[in-house]
């Protein structure tokens, strides 16, 4: 069902793009350099680690450190606003929704840099890197999560002002999840937490429509 809806959206956007005005090169007025887009994708978490150090309600210290394969499937949906520095260089601000790990839903805000060896106005490969922060949908002990990603893709031009991008990349999230007291089964109060770090590494496969 989700795939059918996505196909309908792409067809509608393609129809709109066919009647779009001719492109304006970045050498024109500054407002003509802005680009907008939406990206939807699949995230497969493959590795995770945790390093916890806290006091239980009974007063003893708890250490928990582990790492290894961590399999979890999630989705992501982001909106982007970009600015073309030139025909090969694009900087963007993105935000939306991502899932990372098990029962971990976040709202990211990140900056992305994209390099097009040929031109952002032509079919071809590109590479990207991004970094930012993410906030949980629900209350959790700890601090704001940090997010980084990088990868490559291929751009298909539908018209002078519209394109579809296919992207593959790796994403890393450094998080501070809630901790459960082993004696009472409740969240550990923040004043009892000495260290609360978890990391996740995932493979991203996504599709984006850009104007």
- Tell me the C-alpha distance between 18 and 137, whole Å: 38
- pLDDT tens digits, 10-40: 444 444 444 433 344 545 566 678 999 999 9
Q: Kindly state whether residue 76 falls inside one of the protein's structural domains.
A: yes
Domain around 136? 2-21+33-210
The DSSP secondary-structure symbol of 15 reads H
pTM of full prediction above 0.85:
no
Q: Tokens at residue 71, please?
A: 């399999």
Q: Tokens at residue 93, please?
A: 């601000």
Rounded to 5 degrees, φ, ψ at 13 are -65, -35
CATH of residue 77 = 2.40.160
- pLDDT tens digits, 155-209: 999 987 899 999 999 999 999 888 888 877 788 888 888 888 999 999 999 999 9
Q: Kindly state whether residue 128 falls inside one of the protein's structural domains.
A: yes
Domain count, the chain: 1
Q: Kindly state whether residue 169 falls inside one of the protein's structural domains.
A: yes
Give the CA-trace dihedral at 139, 64, 101, 181, to 10 degrees.
-30
Q: Kindly state whether residue 27 falls inside one of the protein's structural domains.
A: no
């Amino acid at each position: 069902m989700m795939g059918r809806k996505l196909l309908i959206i792409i067809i509608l956007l393609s129809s709109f793009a066919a009647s779009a005005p001719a492109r304006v090169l970045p050498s024109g007025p500054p407002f003509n350099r802005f680009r907008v887009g939406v990206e939807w994708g699949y995230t497969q978490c493959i590795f995770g680690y945790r390093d916890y150090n806290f006091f239980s309600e009974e007063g003893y210290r708890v250490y928990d450190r582990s790492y290894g394969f961590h399999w979890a499937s999630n989705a992501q949906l982001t909106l982007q606003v970009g600015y073309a520095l030139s025909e090969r260089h694009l900087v963007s601000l993105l935000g939306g929704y991502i899932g990372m790990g098990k029962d971990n839903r976040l709202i990211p805000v990140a900056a992305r840099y994209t390099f097009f060896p040929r031109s952002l106005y032509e079919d071809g490969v590109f590479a990207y890197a991004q970094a930012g922060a993410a906030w949980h949908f629900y209350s959790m002990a700890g601090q704001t999560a940090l997010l980084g990603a990088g990868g490559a893709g291929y751009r298909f031009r539908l018209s002078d002002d519209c394109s579809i991008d296919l992207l593959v990349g790796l994403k890393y999230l450094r998080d501070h999840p809630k901790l459960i007291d082993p004696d009472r089964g409740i969240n550990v109060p923040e004043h009892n937490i000495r260290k609360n770090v978890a990391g996740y590494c995932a493979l991203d496969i996504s599709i984006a429509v850009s104007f």
